[in-house]
Amino acid sequence: EKGPPVSPAMLKGLTDRLLRVPEILAERLFRSRIELPTSWGTTYAGEDETPALGINRQHALTYAT
């Protein structure tokens, strides 16, 4: 537990240093920055319906920011 901090990405060999938040967010593919196929957009938004459930509840995300 002691020693320099190591991230999971460093353990997997994906990077050799800790990344800062702006570096991570710069590479992330945000839905608002790229165009998605329609079917992906509905899945991402949680609007897919599962027939086997019978009732598909939608959540209002009251406390989401």
Q: pLDDT for 11-22, tens place per residue?
A: 999 999 999 999
Does 50 fall in a domain? no
How many domains are contained in the chain? Answer: 1
Q: What is the pLDDT of residues 44-54, one digit of tens each?
A: 777 888 888 88
Q: Examine residue 7 and state whether it is found in any structural domain, yes or no.
A: yes
pTM (2 decimals)?
Answer: 0.42
Nearest-5° Cα angle at 30, 38 to 39:
15
Domain carrying residue 10? 1-33
- Judge whether 36 and 44 are in contact, CB under 8 Å: yes
